[in-house]
Amino acid sequence: MPASNIRAAFIRNALEFAEKISQLEGVRRIAIVREITTPMKNPEILCLVVTVSEDAPIKPIADAGRKLKGRMQSMPTAAGADVFLASETHEYLGRTCSYRECHPRAACQGSQCNGTFVNNDFHVFTLEKEVIQSSPVEVFPQVIIRSRIPDDLRRALEEHQKKMLPGKPVGKQYPRRQNTNAIVTDNWSNPNAKGLYDAQWPDEPATKALYEEGRQCGGCAFFAPFNEDWGLCCHRESRHNLETVFEHFTCPKQQETG
Ligand SMILES: [Zn+2]
């Protein structure tokens, strides 16, 4: 089976599953996460997140999940599927039980569904709140795309949305929460710069002279102010490039605006 056919089968199964369980009681949201939302050519496991209301009956969702697992397993590449459950406050609840009858068995290896059809094997796997809250792709109640996803999946989602909600375009949300920058905006981000400022550049009389002339960061063309006191040095040639510095700081590369 060529790689593109494997992905196509994964996508088709994901959307069929979503369509089926979107009609079940208490199902609030269905998302696709992990492998097929990335350019992975030979995905092995189809992962879906189903957000449910507190009183949602889980057995029908687990039943659909079990059938999905069966279909994935019968693919030539013997793939798997996981249906993760989440609360409306984006907490991970566990994955659906794989058995028709849910009761403790040796094969469950310490995981406990105990008839609830929710397998809380957190020691094997857990899903971060972040992934639940801003999953790369949401299928239901409407299609929302939050990540750069492969074209095959994007096209299939657009078709799906046309079929389910004709006239309503696919939602696209810039994934703001995935930004990993941690910018300091109210203090020195590098203690060495603070050291220079506190000691007034003891080994650099020329730099100290600049400071005294008033040629300071606050007046530098490469200073991006965060507030009245602090800003980011954006001067690539400055030794303080990408540091948060005090507006009255300076360096040998200070460049007056205008
Ligand atoms: Zn079980």
Q: How far does the centroid of ligand 1 lie from the alpha carbon of residue 126, in Å?
A: 17
Q: For 48, what's the count of Cα atoms within 13 Å in the CB-facing half-sphere?
A: 31
Q: How far does the centroid of ligand 1 lie from the alpha carbon of residue 98, in Å?
A: 7
Share of the chain above pLDDT 90, in %: 76
Considering the domain boundaries, does residue 179 fall inside one? no
Q: How far does the centroid of ligand 1 lie from the alpha carbon of residue 103, in Å?
A: 5
Q: How far does the centroid of ligand 1 lie from the alpha carbon of residue 86, in Å?
A: 17
* Whether residue 177 has pLDDT greater than 70: no
Q: Could you say which of 119, 141, 174 is where a domain stops?
A: 174
What number is the average pLDDT over the span 124-133?
88
* Whether residue 109 has pLDDT greater than 80: no
Query: What's the token pair of residue 12?
Result: 């088709």
What number is the average pLDDT over the span 172-187?
81
What is the distance of C-alpha 248 from the center of its chain? 38
What number is the average pLDDT over the span 143-169?
93
Considering the domain boundaries, does residue 37 fall inside one? yes
* Whether residue 148 has pLDDT greater than 70: yes
Q: Could you say which of 123, 149, 174 is where a domain stops?
A: 174
Considering the domain boundaries, does residue 258 fall inside one? no
Residue 53 pLDDT class (50, 70, 90 cuts): very high
Q: How far does the centroid of ligand 1 lie from the alpha carbon of residue 59, in Å?
A: 10
Residue 42 has what pLDDT? 93
Residues 201 and 159 in one domain: no
Q: How far does the centroid of ligand 1 lie from the alpha carbon of residue 105, in Å?
A: 8
Spatial contact of 122 and 91, defined as CB atoms under 8 Å apart? no
What number is the average pLDDT over the span 238-258?
93
Residues 123 and 239 in one domain: no
Q: How far does the centroid of ligand 1 lie from the alpha carbon of residue 184, in Å?
A: 47
From residue 17, give the alpha-carbon distance in Å to each of 125, 167, 212. 22, 23, 69
Residue 69 has what pLDDT? 97
Q: What range does the domain containing 196 cover?
A: 191-246
Residue 229 has what pLDDT? 96
Q: How far does the centroid of ligand 1 lie from the alpha carbon of residue 81, in Å?
A: 16
Q: How far does the centroid of ligand 1 lie from the alpha carbon of residue 20, in Å?
A: 21
Place of tokens 């995905």: 43
Residue 257 has what pLDDT? 79
Residue 62 CB neighbour total at 10 angstroms: 24
